[in-house]
Amino acid sequence: MNNPFPYSDSNKRYYTFDYMMRKRFGGKCVKIPIDAGFTCPNIDGKCGRGGCTYCTLPHRSGEMRGIDIENQYALQTEKLSSKWSGALRLPYLQDYTNTYADINKLKKIYETVLSLPEAIGIDIATRVDAIDDECIKYLKEINERTFLILELGLQTIHDSTASLINRGHSYEKFLEVYEKLKNLNICIHIINSLPYESDEMMLATAREIARLHPFMLKIHMLYIEEGTRIADSYKNRDFELLTLEEYTSVVCRQLELLPPDICIGRITGDGQKATLIAPDWSKKKFVVMNEIDKFLVKNNTYQGILYK
Ligand code: SF4
């Protein structure tokens, strides 16, 4: 295999989560989703109502909500065991804003998660306007004793887009909090194909991620799902979505701009197939990943080739 990308032992020309975890922990790792019962300040009115315009969470009830953390972990582990028996387990507080509570409640939840059998650490997804200084101090303590990933939704560096999608915070706010957190394993989320964003705007977001140099980046396509506010705007033909070819090209050009040692936690997402309106091509995640691999080989390029 002729692969010039250094952080890979396969055909991947970008630094995958799987590769990073195998090198770090010596084996395959699976994330175990846990619904710890949080809500979101952009849904409940603290900073906004209705949530980000693409968010499906206000419109669906999580199947695990209300089940205690230990039982959720057991149920989810059981579900994954047929496919990933023997894999390392990383509990993942994914849905909603998982730092949005007072410090005593956070400690109770996180300590429960950290004591789950065979958990190798904790992965917490949140937004920057729901992390106060007390929480930061506690996250730093956790980081001293175990493996912590803190996932921060950014989606775009462009405030005009953030306002259109009702993100509820500015890029300046993101930077202010990121600065306080930057010694942690931060994973930033971005979305491609947000309304009216040009390729150059998406590449500018990637350039800024390169400058921030987080531990990890998750790249998503915008999904239009039934029941969301963005679905109405999409049905009115207010904006167009990227085609598979366009998405592939943008993602590969973003990869070129990033430092080679930023782990790519996701290169395309998992839309809810039952409620997905568009883009249809995103339902075949394997095809999208293949197209990205093929593009990188065909153009003899890889993550970081243009990073200075
Ligand atoms: S921050 Fe997350 S949970 Fe909150 S509204 Fe936006 S997408 Fe939904």
Q: How far is the CA of 126 from the centre of ligand 1 (A)?
A: 9
pLDDT, tens only, 113-170: 999 999 999 999 999 999 999 999 999 999 999 999 999 999 999 999 999 999 999 9
Determine the Cα–Cα distance for residues 263 and 39; give it in Å rounded to an integer.
Answer: 28
Instruction: Answer yes or no: is the C-beta of 42 below 6 A from any ligand 1 atom.
Output: yes
Indicate the fold that domain 17-298 takes in CATH. Answer: TIM Barrel (3.20.20)
- pLDDT of the residue at 1: 67
- pLDDT of the residue at 248: 98
From the alpha carbon of 51, which atom of ligand 1 is closest?
A: 5
From the alpha carbon of 41, which atom of ligand 1 is closest?
A: 4
pTM (2 d.p.): 0.97
3-state class (DSSP) for residue 140 = helix
- pLDDT of the residue at 23: 97
Determine the Cα–Cα distance for residues 210 and 259; give it in Å rounded to an integer.
Answer: 6
Which of 49, 53, 96 best tests ligand 1's pocket when mutated (most atoms within 8 Å of CB)?
96
The vertex-166 CA angle with 163 and 168, nearest 5°, equals 85
3-state class (DSSP) for residue 270 = coil
pLDDT, tens only, 43-63: 999 998 889 999 998 777 778
Q: Which residues of the chain have pLDDT under 50?
A: none
- pLDDT of the residue at 64: 86
Residue with tokens 């970081």: 304
